[in-house]
Structure 1
Amino acid sequence: MREKIHLNGNWTFYPDIEEYQEVAGKLKHMRGERVDLPHTVKMLPFNNFNEKDYQFKSLYRKEVFIDEKYRDKALFLVFEGVANMSVVYVNGKKSFHSESAFLPFSKEISDEVRFGEANIIEVMVDSREHEWIPPFGHVVDFLTYGGIYREVSLEIHDRYFIQNIFAFAENVLEEEKSLTVQTILSAERGGSILYKLFEGGNHNPVGEALFSSIRNVDDKRMRNTLSVKGVSLWDIEDPRLYTLEVTLVDRDGLAVDRKTEIIGFREATFREDGFYLNGRKIKLRGLNRHQSYPYVGYAMPRSMQILDAEILKKDLGVNIVRTSHYPQSSHFLDHCDRIGLLVFEEIPGWQHIGDEHFKENCKDNLKKMIKRDRNHPSIIIWGVRINESKDDTLFYKEMNKIAHIYDESRPTGGVRNFAKSELLEDVYTYNDFVHRGDNEGLSSPNDILPSKAPYLVTEHNGHMYPVKSADPEDRRTEHALRHARVLEDMEKNTKISGAIGWSMADYNTHVDFGSGDRVCYHGVLDMFRQKKTAAYVYASQKDEPILHVSSSMNIGDHAGGNLGKVYAFTSCDYVDLYKNGRFIRRFEKDQKSRLKHPPILMDDFIGNLLVEEEGFSARDAERVKKIIRKAAIYGMNLPLTSKMTMGRILLKYRMNMDDAVDLFGKYYAGWGQDQLTYTFKGYKDGKEVASVTKGPGASMHLRVTPSTQVLHVEETYDVAMVSVSARNNHEEILDYSSEVIELEAVGNVEILGPSRFPLRGGQGAFYVRSGRGKGNGSVKIRTDNMGEKEITFTVTEENLTRL
């Protein structure tokens, strides 16, 4: 039976190695750095660096003892991801190489190792950007970093084993469903295959088998269609998973290999009138994801991949993610399966189509991507075209053909940024950046499509309105409103299957892009996955209580002291506003909006107070409120008509100009009052479900929230993200705080990245990884103005085979 040995610990890393032959005999005398995988060749600053800093050759070296008991086995050395080009040496001899930064590669090394003794595995990693490796050859709006940034393992099989399984279901809306299973074996030796289906998505299935079926082996490549009853469908609301277990039995009746795949039964179809999941029409609302993180680039283990999926589905409430612009971690996709998050997965590339060598690498990437990921029920479409590239008929005809050969069950899409492109794929996928804030949110599909076809928007917003966490709140609010307008137009148009926004989080980029500091501030989250205002547009579309008010209600944050329009991004039916405990007004959502939970506009912060406290008539009170709002814009230089109206009202109520100024200060600015607080209460089905208070803070503190306090050492180290934010006593984020955070790791934990950094927009995060030994640890967090905190971590170790 098969066995897996994880090779992620205790590598020796040598940076800036030009050629393997020059150092092969000298490594014993050279000083390297002890590292664990995933690993990046260069820790980068948050911003303001040169991307050439990590673009060099380096060497990774590890001793691996191969037990004598494996002599008659098939041993495969598997790399999940190395950026960008790599050459693997086994015991000093070149074994195999890779020219893809994003997909696994492997080779059987049974004839290259020495049994019963230590073997030397060495990997020359070239992190430079070669023009024949997608996405390179021209400009690229993201970084690929460098290093062995995903896991490495040694997989051990009997000589007669199962190489690959692909299972897909048909007729899933019928009581009796068809499950087609394609199986590739290592050789033609006869025997039989036993298929079993178990409930649940565990790799070691427990529970009762749903069916058992046996077939005789008649070829190295087999295809059997099995009938299945009594299974539930995989859906975004109820993602039911099953374990397909395939056992290879030899002619003597002995089980020689067993392989499992996690699958789901679902029907996902794109039509001209939208997207349908299991026969139910669903609007796709999503975000694009880069797999990068501050400091370490791509080098993050399973827990952080899982956390991103959790953030997308559970925090932001989206139902689809696009893996821009390359295949991403299997850990991320596995969790998308578990939580019901749909996936658009695409090949590596960005606008540029290179020479024939480049194109062959594209084809190879496509084959590897589909073979690795085609059992994931979450994946509903393959991106077979280089993002935003020009038309290339012969190339893209072949790419579509490859996709349909390797997976006949899913449609293809090709992301472009221009109208009337040649349509070779099944779905026309288009990056629509038409929205500028004062126009339509999305183009009409009729203006973009070359012919009738299913239609999906794959990017919007992004570079059209980049926003930093520390930007003024009116810019952060407009950013959110732009996302809301696009989603509104998406919901209105029955021909648009959905819209996937650019992007989930900010990301590092090349010098040609971003804000001049190697960061694209295009995300609804910052690089540390902390929310900007726009994040609440997505989060508020969930049914659970969400209430986020766009303003701090500080007039000094606005030109002329004009609060203007304030928005509640909320799932509530209506919001009641109280000022210093006095009810002001109820604000209700727009019933005409096609959004499930549209932003609620709040633009009256005086309410009926002028009637109740000053004795104005209702008519005059409304006039005075309008004039007060204009005074916030024009000051004493009010328009003549406003001055005349105010003069008549002052005369009528025997008031003078000083009284008018007092009205502005009392009812709008809050001047001279001890404290002016605004309380927003959100109601759903007539019940209060959320409350937010805005006002001067009497005290400030640091809120510290770890993603977990238990670190699990499994196939490699584990990482937790610790979010930190400066808050006042109302629990408002202090948007302009740049408080410096100082960290000290104690015990069996380490900090990934700097131990001293400033908050940005009043918030930030840092990463804690488990150490190499046993025992727990803690991180002490110190600030100059907000005190100290300490977070403890429990480190557990799983009983897995690791070397």
Structure 2
Amino acid sequence: MSSFRRAFLSPQLLALSGLLALAACTRPGGTAGRTASALQPETFNQDWEFVKDVDTAVGPTFFARTADAARPWAAVGLPHTPRLEPVVTTARQWQGTCFYRRFFRVAAADTARRVAIRFEGAMQEADVYLNGRRLAHHQGGYLPFTVNLTPYLRPGAENCLLVKLNNQDNPAIPPGKPLKDLDFNYYGGLYRPVQLVVQDRLRLTDAVESGRVAGGGLLLRYENVSEQQATLHLQAEIRNDYRTDRAARLRTVVLDAGGKEVARALTDAPLLTPGGATLVRQTLPLTQPKLWTPTRPYLYRVVTEVLDDKGRALDRQELTTGVRTIRFAPEGFYLNGQKTRLRGTNRHQEYPYLAYALSDEMQYRDAWKIKEAGFNFVRCSHYPPSPAFLQACDELGLLVMNSIPGWQFFGAEDFQRNSLQNVRDMVRRDRNHPSIVLWEAALNETDMSKSFMDQAHQAVHEELPFPTDVYTCGWLDYAYDVFIPARQHAKAPDYWHKYNKQKPILLCEYGDWEYYAQNAGFNQTAYAGLKEAERTSRQLRGQGERALIQQALNFQEAHNDNFIGPAIGDANWLQFDYKRGYAPDIESSGIMDIYRLPKFAFYFYQSQYGPTPDAQGFGKPMVYVASYAQASTAPRQVRVFSNCAEVELQLNGKPLARQRPDQDRYSDHLAHPSFTFTVPPFSTGTLRAVAYLNGQAAAEHTRRTPGPAHHLQLRFDRSGRDLTADRQDAVFVYATVVDAQGTPVPDAATPIRFAVTAGDAELLGDNPVAAEAGIATLLLRAGRTPGTVQLTASAEGLPAATLSVRSVKP
């Protein structure tokens, strides 16, 4: 769920006036829809119908259930992508016009309340109709918008909600650049959840819908923060949509992680005139608060209710919050007064096949992997992420740079106006997340005008008019509070070592372009003789051990070099491989591939965290042998990553060496340098690394020379969240080709076929699919009924493998 979880009808109101009766009508073909509860707005994600590549002129037949051969509507759930996108193709992603519609009923009594529809993400130009009437037009695919349905509903009769979407190139809508020239994709569809919002007409507003500077919804800030005390200042906007004056009170309760009340406030609101809105402010003292940090991301719950003059709860909003302070200074970043280096990555939100259509659980799993890789910071490149991803960052302890849509494109007046609106809407939507420490109110790698930068910077500070804890950032050294260039924006060998302005500098990208397009790093002599394929960080898992070692070395060299000079932290490019509009191949500089499988570089970064586990168990002692232990006729070097003080490497049970970390030009600034061992020739063997802390074995990792392919092993990726039914949730399923001892065969490219043999689920992707580096991947999407799903994987000449995956209730 988003941190902006909304229980729009309180239990008291339900007892007073009954549940909203929303029942999806019979679909074409006679299947009955389900009844949706107003307490579960996500249930409006089911029972939609979809069609694309049809006549785009909206007419009466769009709103009728009668059969229409020209528009073959398909039953779909949300989040949804207009097309399952192939992973690698010579054709670009689908672009065009598509339609979604939803039939539903509203009881006559419920039209006395306010009924609205909220879209979390609709790519990228939307027209919304109800019963043939066009109610709204919205531009922008990454931020929410809300449409009031109340005056146009047919109580007691069937209603039809229709959404027309167009995701074709549009220079007025950020990112604005034509897809064929863009370094990422923006896909289509209703790709984030849709909520049916039902409220009393005396209600709390939504910050984005309200559109008021520093207003709307709930706004939290803290002051006087210490381990002994903190003061929470809460601002809420109450609106009266009744035709008469209304009195109201605001009640707020703060609960700790165990559900215990730790603060309460009850405040009278000014008398609200019809159509009027007012801000109510409350102050809630907290005693001995638990401070939010990446190592202990403690969250409180804030529950705010609007009460009528009889004390009955009419409306309610709930969110989670973390108590913390931040400060950026030229010499460092301070969290709760403690200097903290930002150790981060960039993330694109796309999945294979499903494009942008990720469930909330999938968003959480991505955040989990970033934390598992050892990072404490993530940049949302190059657009605002899902609220569910930000909520996961709050829960897991990831600091966030939130970003507006943009990349190498500065459009005309309408583009700039929409972009500045994106700045405000992004802040209004996300302002209460403790994880967010930077607002990238800049268009990435774009030659913006000074006027635009001034306005964008000012917009953030107008929306958050506080003397502390609010920081903008941009890639140009003008206007913004923090300077965030990429490493490659300066030249080797110094890069940003000699930056001497009194402004914090954070390297927001590194490790890719320097090696792809330049002779990167400070080891210019060595790099000068390398071919592009040998020096680049763009390495697929299937390109083999040498390629993956090169990528890991690039990231290690760059990360180590970033400690020289004034940079307060860095973010590598990037966590996951992704697809681009301007090239048919995968951009493969991720430390995990597009299927979320780790490359060697993943373990380098993991070794930079720990070895003392944090509150959630990340950062444990670890060791990783960056080798497939394949036969060699000559001595060779093997690199080992570990966060421990010493590592012993054994070959076939015999110690080769026990040593401390490397001391070289790639390691001299790292918290945990890698270990390099010389291994003698062997035809088959077992490499076993044992890591030591305080003289005691703390972790180990074993690699064996693979034999011939013998059988398959099946597993799925949970990453902190079970496969969840009735949510369009999907998990990666991996079939690994292994030898008789269970050792993966890294050069296997075996075609593998998957099948669901029992349970409510479906497979998404190419099937059969060829293994890459010994592993074939598909997505398993849960259906609407929870339970056990049985899978099989088979390949010619190998026995089939089976796997049980349980999907759970939402």
- Is the 1:555–1:563 Cα contact (8 Å) retained in structure 2? no
* Residue matched to 1:554: 630
* Residue matched to 2:76: 35
3-state SS of 1:478 partner: helix
> In structure 2, how many angstroms separate the alpha carbons of the residues matched to 1:355 and 1:434?
25
Selected match of 2:597 from 530, 538, 544: 530
Aligned ranges 1:336-735 → 2 under 5 Å? 336-409=393-466, 410-416=469-475, 421-433=476-488, 440=493, 443-447=495-499, 451-463=501-513, 464=516, 465=536, 466-493=538-565, 495-510=566-581, 512-513=582-583, 517-542=584-609, 543=611, 544-554=620-630, 564-590=636-662, 593-602=668-677, 604-606=678-680, 668=681, 670=683, 675-688=684-697, 689-697=699-707, 700-708=710-718, 711-713=723-725, 716-728=727-739, 732-735=743-746
- Given the superposition, is the C-alpha separation of residues 281 and 775 from structure 1 closer, same or farther in structure 2, using an over 3 Å criterion? closer
Aligned residues: 706
TM-score norm. by structure 2 comes to 0.83
Q: Which moved more, 1:317-326 or 1:229-238?
A: 229-238
- Given the superposition, is the C-alpha separation of residues 185 and 738 from structure 1 closer, same or farther in structure 2, using an over 3 Å criterion? same
- Given the superposition, is the C-alpha separation of residues 225 and 294 from structure 1 closer, same or farther in structure 2, using an over 3 Å criterion? same
> In structure 2, how many angstroms separate the alpha carbons of the residues matched to 1:131 and 1:27?
36
Selected match of 2:62 from 8, 24, 39: 24
3-state SS of 1:63 partner: strand
Q: Deviations over 1:485-541 (max 9, x none)?
A: 222223444x2111101011100111x34xxx3311120100000011111111112
Letter in 2 for 1:34: A
Letter in 2 for 1:528: Y
* Residue matched to 2:524: none
* Cα displacement (A) at 1:226: 3.2
- Given the superposition, is the C-alpha separation of residues 763 and 191 from structure 1 closer, same or farther in structure 2, using an over 3 Å criterion? same
* Cα displacement (A) at 1:786: 3.8
Does 2:203 align with 1:153?
no
> In structure 1, how many angstroms separate the alpha carbons of the residues matched to 2:127 and 2:431?
27
* Residue matched to 2:806: 794
3-state SS of 1:294 partner: coil
- Given the superposition, is the C-alpha separation of residues 538 and 731 from structure 1 closer, same or farther in structure 2, using an over 3 Å criterion? farther
- Is the 1:384–1:412 Cα contact (8 Å) retained in structure 2? no
Selected match of 2:283 from 213, 222, 225: 225
Q: Which moved more, 1:284-293 or 1:405-414?
A: 405-414
> In structure 1, how many angstroms separate the alpha carbons of the residues matched to 2:222 and 2:808?
39
Selected match of 1:214 from 244, 266, 272: 266
* Residue matched to 1:117: 157
* Cα displacement (A) at 1:696: 4.5
- Given the superposition, is the C-alpha separation of residues 784 and 103 from structure 1 closer, same or farther in structure 2, using an over 3 Å criterion? same
Which of these two proteins has the greater Rg computed from alpha carbons?
Answer: 1
* Residue matched to 2:228: 175
Q: Deviations over 1:378-418 (max 9, x none)?
A: 111111001111141111111111111112354334442xx
Aligned ranges 1:204-353 → 2 under 5 Å? 207-218=259-270, 220-313=278-371, 315-353=372-410
Q: Deviations over 1:402-447 (max 9, x none)?
A: 111112354334442xxxx4421111111112799xx65x723534
Does 2:107 align with 1:48?
no
> In structure 2, how many angstroms separate the alpha carbons of the residues matched to 1:477 and 1:78?
47
* Cα displacement (A) at 1:193: 1.3
- Is the 2:127–2:137 Cα contact (8 Å) retained in structure 1? yes
* Residue matched to 1:653: none
3-state SS of 1:220 partner: strand
Q: State the superposition RMSD in angstroms.
A: 2.3
* Cα displacement (A) at 1:14: 1.1
* Cα displacement (A) at 1:174: 6.1
- Given the superposition, is the C-alpha separation of residues 174 and 50 from structure 1 closer, same or farther in structure 2, using an over 3 Å criterion? same
- Is the 1:528–1:764 Cα contact (8 Å) retained in structure 2? no
- Is the 1:168–1:180 Cα contact (8 Å) retained in structure 2? yes
* Cα displacement (A) at 1:587: 3.1
Q: Where in structure 1 are there 5+ consecutive unaligned residues?
A: 201-205, 607-667, 799-803
3-state SS of 2:484 partner: strand
* Cα displacement (A) at 1:248: 1.5
Q: Which moved more, 1:389-398 or 1:186-195?
A: 186-195
- Is the 2:484–2:508 Cα contact (8 Å) retained in structure 1? yes
- Given the superposition, is the C-alpha separation of residues 434 and 553 from structure 1 closer, same or farther in structure 2, using an over 3 Å criterion? farther
3-state SS of 2:600 partner: coil
Q: Which moved more, 1:348-357 or 1:425-434?
A: 425-434
- Given the superposition, is the C-alpha separation of residues 754 and 310 from structure 1 closer, same or farther in structure 2, using an over 3 Å criterion? same
* Cα displacement (A) at 1:452: 1.4
Selected match of 1:105 from 128, 131, 145: 145
Letter in 2 for 1:245: V
| % identical aligned pairs | 27
> In structure 2, how many angstroms separate the alpha carbons of the residues matched to 1:774 and 1:548?
37
Q: Deviations over 1:680-701 (max 9, x none)?
A: 3332322232031332436644
- Given the superposition, is the C-alpha separation of residues 554 and 770 from structure 1 closer, same or farther in structure 2, using an over 3 Å criterion? closer
* Residue matched to 1:618: none
3-state SS of 1:475 partner: helix
- Is the 1:480–1:537 Cα contact (8 Å) retained in structure 2? yes
> In structure 2, how many angstroms separate the alpha carbons of the residues matched to 1:241 and 1:72?
36
> In structure 1, how many angstroms separate the alpha carbons of the residues matched to 2:789 and 2:326?
46
- Is the 1:321–1:341 Cα contact (8 Å) retained in structure 2? yes
3-state SS of 2:236 partner: strand
* Cα displacement (A) at 1:552: 2.5
Q: Deviations over 1:323-347 (max 9, x none)?
A: 1111111111111111111111100
- Given the superposition, is the C-alpha separation of residues 116 and 774 from structure 1 closer, same or farther in structure 2, using an over 3 Å criterion? farther
> In structure 1, how many angstroms separate the alpha carbons of the residues matched to 2:548 and 2:449?
40
* Cα displacement (A) at 1:710: 5.0
> In structure 2, how many angstroms separate the alpha carbons of the residues matched to 1:300 and 1:540?
29
> In structure 1, how many angstroms separate the alpha carbons of the residues matched to 2:410 and 2:450?
12
3-state SS of 1:234 partner: coil
- Given the superposition, is the C-alpha separation of residues 462 and 66 from structure 1 closer, same or farther in structure 2, using an over 3 Å criterion? farther
- Given the superposition, is the C-alpha separation of residues 562 and 133 from structure 1 closer, same or farther in structure 2, using an over 3 Å criterion? farther
> In structure 2, how many angstroms separate the alpha carbons of the residues matched to 1:110 and 1:305?
32
3-state SS of 2:568 partner: strand
- Is the 2:487–2:496 Cα contact (8 Å) retained in structure 1? no
> In structure 2, how many angstroms separate the alpha carbons of the residues matched to 1:501 and 1:764?
27
3-state SS of 2:45 partner: coil
Q: Which moved more, 1:245-254 or 1:341-350?
A: 245-254
> In structure 2, how many angstroms separate the alpha carbons of the residues matched to 1:378 and 1:550?
33
Q: Which moved more, 1:276-285 or 1:579-588?
A: 579-588
- Is the 1:459–1:502 Cα contact (8 Å) retained in structure 2? yes
- Is the 2:725–2:784 Cα contact (8 Å) retained in structure 1? no
> In structure 2, how many angstroms separate the alpha carbons of the residues matched to 1:434 and 1:486?
14
